[in-house]
Amino acid sequence: MNPRPLVVRFGALGDMVLLTTLIRHLHQRFNQPVDIISSGPWTRPLLEDQPGVGELYVVRSRNLPYLFNSELQRVVRLLRTRGAGPTWLCDHFHNASTYKLLRRAGWRATDVCEPNHFTDVRGSHFCDLWLRFAYRNPRVLGAEDLPCTATDAWPTLYLSELKKQQEINWLATHQLHDKKLILVQAGNKRTMRRFGFRQRNTNSKYWPEQNWGQVLCELKALHPNHAIVMLGVPSEAQLNADIMQRANVDGVYNLAPEMTIARLMMLCDRASGVLSVDTGPAHVASSFGCKMVTMFGKASPEMYAPRGDKAIVKCLTGIHDGEQSMLGITPAAVIQAWQSLSVE
């Protein structure tokens, strides 16, 4: 049996940030690197340099049938070479296909445990769940949960000094390396789906561009010597541009076209404060200890609020048409929450 813990999580960027709570505690518990099966282009640059992370088995797509999925076949071959061992399965859906993947590589049901039956943490924050899950045992290790006395239920991220300096050099090309920074994350994958209007009813994380523009004006008035950096992936650049046009103030920079995970991490490490919708970069920022305001749509802040050891996070929700909605959050409420952070 391979003694190294294996974690399986096919999650979005924010999910993988929250997962570092589990990774850290499994690493501490076993004194072994934690190997990870995951998907998505963000997983490797996000986790490859994190303390306690071992091998990363990243699959771009699980939808293609195994017979035609050369990448999935490659991962199975690598897992067979690694050898089966205690495994923590963190996904809540598609577990049947995940078990099939593990069985192809030589795993048995006794090697795997899932985070079910934690009735006392239902509705609690995901970090609390991952903390408890780190002390669960699959049957191959006896199946008895160990007592959990740890209290550090928050994600942590680390950026190597080499990568940090490389990204600071990039920041210097925008003449921003010596400025105080405020980061703004207005977009998310729901807003920027290829088809559909931003303000469609199914987009629970949409906040009107005119609201963002008003807030940018207020932020610039409060912090005239700070640069405001608009975050996002390249597909969110036009949303940022539309917001900046409405704000019509100097000192706002749209860096979404050039954003990478390492650059996002560097910016969060240097930021004075962050304003974001409930999305992955908000979790990256809190893991670096940022002061931040996060706006929520239909999701529960009790379960998904950004967390960090030294982070100060204000979560905002609103009511619109009788339901929890980001559309019920006013620019005035955002600025009031921002001012309570005492961003310097």
Q: What is the Cα–Cα distance from 115 to 1, expressed in whole angstroms?
A: 22
Same domain, 122 and 190: no
When divided into structural domains, the chain yields a total of 2
Q: What is the Cα–Cα distance from 166 to 72, expressed in whole angstroms?
A: 33
The CATH number covering residue 127 comes to: 3.40.50.2000
- The pLDDT-based confidence of 62 (bands split at 50, 70, 90) is confident
Same domain, 170 and 309: yes
User: Residue 321 falls within a domain, yes or no?
Assistant: yes
Same domain, 186 and 335: yes
Same domain, 183 and 303: yes
pLDDT of residue 195: 46
Same domain, 212 and 327: yes
User: Residue 20 falls within a domain, yes or no?
Assistant: yes
What does the pLDDT average to over 300-315? 96
Same domain, 117 and 227: no
What does the pLDDT average to over 303-308? 96
Mean pLDDT of the chain: 93
Same domain, 86 and 131: yes
Among the three residues 106, 141, 176, which one is the final residue of a domain in this structure?
141
Residue in this structure with the two tokens 């409420």, named with its chain if needed? 333
Condensed to tens digits (0 to 9), the pLDDT of residues 123-168 reads 689 999 999 999 999 999 998 999 999 999 999 999 999 999 999 9
pLDDT of residue 19: 97
Lowest mean pLDDT among 92-101, 131-140, 213-222, 334-343: 92-101
User: Residue 119 falls within a domain, yes or no?
Assistant: yes
User: Residue 151 falls within a domain, yes or no?
Assistant: no
Same domain, 128 and 198: no
- DSSP lists the bridge partners of residue 35 as 6
User: Residue 155 falls within a domain, yes or no?
Assistant: no
User: Residue 152 falls within a domain, yes or no?
Assistant: no
Among the three residues 80, 111, 141, which one is the final residue of a domain in this structure?
141
- The pLDDT-based confidence of 73 (bands split at 50, 70, 90) is very high
- Which CA distances in Å does 144 have to 3, 136, 147, 150? 17, 7, 10, 18
Same domain, 42 and 170: no
- Which CA distances in Å does 132 have to 60, 125, 241? 29, 11, 43
Same domain, 266 and 131: no
* Best CA proximity match to 90, nearest among 51, 34, 144: 34
pLDDT of residue 189: 74
- What is the token pair recorded at 254? 């749209």
pLDDT of residue 115: 86
pTM above 0.75, yes or no: yes
User: Residue 221 falls within a domain, yes or no?
Assistant: yes
- Give the rounded percent of residues in the chain with a pLDDT score beyond 90: 84
Q: How many helices, marked H, and strands, marked E, lie in the chain?
A: 12, 13
- Which CA distances in Å does 65 have to 62, 71, 101, 223, 319? 8, 11, 11, 53, 43
Domain that holds residue 317: 161-339
Same domain, 200 and 136: no
- The pLDDT-based confidence of 295 (bands split at 50, 70, 90) is very high
Residue in this structure with the two tokens 């795997």, named with its chain if needed? 112
Same domain, 171 and 311: yes
Give 62 or 156, the one with higher predicted confidence: 156
153 within 8 A of 21, measured Cβ to Cβ: yes
User: Residue 148 falls within a domain, yes or no?
Assistant: no
Condensed to tens digits (0 to 9), the pLDDT of residues 185-230 reads 999 876 555 444 555 555 789 999 999 999 999 999 999 999 999 9
- Which CA distances in Å does 256 have to 21, 134, 188, 233, 264? 28, 35, 12, 5, 10
pLDDT of residue 300: 93
Q: Which DSSP symbol is given to 146?
A: P
pLDDT of residue 68 exceeding 90, the answer is no
Q: Which DSSP symbol is given to 55?
A: E
Among the three residues 77, 108, 141, which one is the final residue of a domain in this structure?
141
* Best CA proximity match to 306, nearest among 171, 155, 181: 155
Residue in this structure with the two tokens 């990870």, named with its chain if needed? 36
Half-sphere exposure for 22 (CA within 13 Å, toward CB):
28
Q: Is 10 exposed, middle or buried (0-12, 13-18, 19+ CB in 10 A)?
A: buried
- The pLDDT-based confidence of 119 (bands split at 50, 70, 90) is low
Condensed to tens digits (0 to 9), the pLDDT of residues 228-270 reads 999 999 999 999 999 999 999 999 999 999 999 999 999 999 9
